[in-house]
Amino acid sequence: MAKKRMFSLKIVDTDEFLDMPPTTQNLYFHLCMRADDDGFVSNPKKIMKIVNSATDDIKVLIGKKFVIPFESGVCVIKHWKIHNLIRKDRYTETEYKKEKKLLTEQIEKKERRIKQTEKKLEEYHDGFPEMERQRETYEELLAKYKIQLTDKQQQLIDIESRIQLLNETVRALDDQVQSKQSMIDAYDKRIEELRQDIETSSTENIEREQRLNALTEKLQHMAIEHDKLIKAKESIESSTHNSRIVLQQLKEELDNQEKEIRDKESRIHRLEVLSAIYRASKFFGGILIGVGIFFVIWVVGIFFNVIDLGVINVNTFLIVIFLIVAAILSIVSGFFHLEKS
């Protein structure tokens, strides 16, 4: 298969070709590029898939007779020999000889029909020579009558042209009169509208003056109220300043009172601690006195042999002395704690 193909503007530049969608034209070019030297394409469906063409594109090409399909699935480019003239030394005959034969037979049938039709037309013209002669005589008579009637017709044409010109002049004058009348009516209407506008504008001006006077009075009243509001604002600001001063003084007094309360609370806390210490010291002094009295009772019991120590090797005198000393120290310590508390 050749790698180069040509396209003729006699086909691709026609309105019939250019009226087709771009996708259909694209498919036509691809089919021509892949056709063999006789214009036959073996795989049109594969080419449609390659170029993403729809089924309607090939239907359009077949309907417009740019492509001729066969039952075997092969198609042929109709205007192939217009596009490409291949030399004999480079020509390779198509593989689809059966389809080529069918195509050749169809072409021969059409040529025979054309020849038969041309022959019938020649017989038709040869069979009516008298009608041709009669037509020539009638044409000569018509030419003579035309020459005779030319002058009168020219006069009539001149008169009719004058009448037509006058009629056009009259129509133009009527149109001008109507346009002038319409302009006059428009001017009258416009003047009436202006008069009404002037009346309405005068009444609007009067209403505006009244509104302006009312607004002026309101502004004067508002100015007086504004002065009152300014004075009230000044008095409020002065009272607010005084209130702030009083509030600051109250705040300072509260701070001082809070400090005094905190001092008193700390003093009360210290007194509570001292009271607890006092009670503990007094309790401890009582315990010491009790212990001293216990030692004294113990010494008296030993002295009168009421209490038996049950110790043989210990000197009784030393024990008594120790107990007396302990009793004295306990009692003295107890009284000391009681006096300190």
- Helix (H), strand (E) at residue 83: helix 80-83
Listed residue (23, 43, 20, 19) closest to 33, CA to CA: 43
Contacts of 273 (CB under 8 A, 6+ apart): none
Listed residue (117, 115, 42, 29) closest to 79, CA to CA: 29
Question: What phi, psi does 287 have (nearest 5°)?
Answer: -65, -45
**Placement of tokens 């300072």 in the chain:** 252
Cβ pair 298, 323 in contact under 8 A: yes
- In total, the chain counts a number of residues equal to 341
User: In this structure, how many other beta carbons lie within 10 angstroms of the beta carbon of residue 139?
Assistant: 9
3-state DSSP helix/strand/coil % of the chain, to nearest 5: 80, 0, 20
pLDDT at residue 117 in the model: 77
pLDDT at residue 313 in the model: 44
pLDDT at residue 2 in the model: 65
**Placement of tokens 């008594």 in the chain:** 320
pLDDT at residue 22 in the model: 94
Listed residue (76, 30, 24) closest to 53, CA to CA: 24
Listed residue (293, 274, 272) closest to 282, CA to CA: 274
* Helices 129-303/316-340 angle, 10° precision: 130
pLDDT at residue 191 in the model: 85
- Helix (H), strand (E) at residue 75: strand 75-77
C-alpha torsion sign, points 102, 107, 111, 113:
positive
pLDDT at residue 265 in the model: 86
pLDDT at residue 144 in the model: 60
Secondary structure letter of residue 307 according to DSSP: S
Cβ pair 104, 117 in contact under 8 A: no
User: In this structure, how many other beta carbons lie within 10 angstroms of the beta carbon of residue 300?
Assistant: 13
Rounded Cα distance, 299 and 224, in Å: 111
> b/e for 12-40, b at 16 or more Cβ within 10 A?
beeeebeebeebbbebbebbbebbbebbb
Helices (H) and strands (E) in the chain, counts: 9, 3
Q: pLDDT tens digits for the chain (341 residues)? A: 667 899 999 999 999 999 999 999 999 999 999 999 889 999 999 999 999 999 999 999 999 999 999 998 999 999 999 999 888 888 888 899 988 898 888 888 888 888 887 777 676 655 555 555 665 665 666 666 555 555 555 555 566 667 767 777 777 777 788 877 878 888 788 888 888 888 888 888 888 888 888 888 888 888 888 888 888 888 888 888 888 888 888 888 888 888 888 888 888 888 888 777 777 777 776 777 777 777 777 777 776 776 665 554 456 667 778 777 777 877 777 777 666 65
pTM over 0.85? The answer is no
pLDDT at residue 21 in the model: 94
Rounded Cα distance, 87 and 91, in Å: 6
CA angle 32, 37, 41 (to 5 degrees): 45
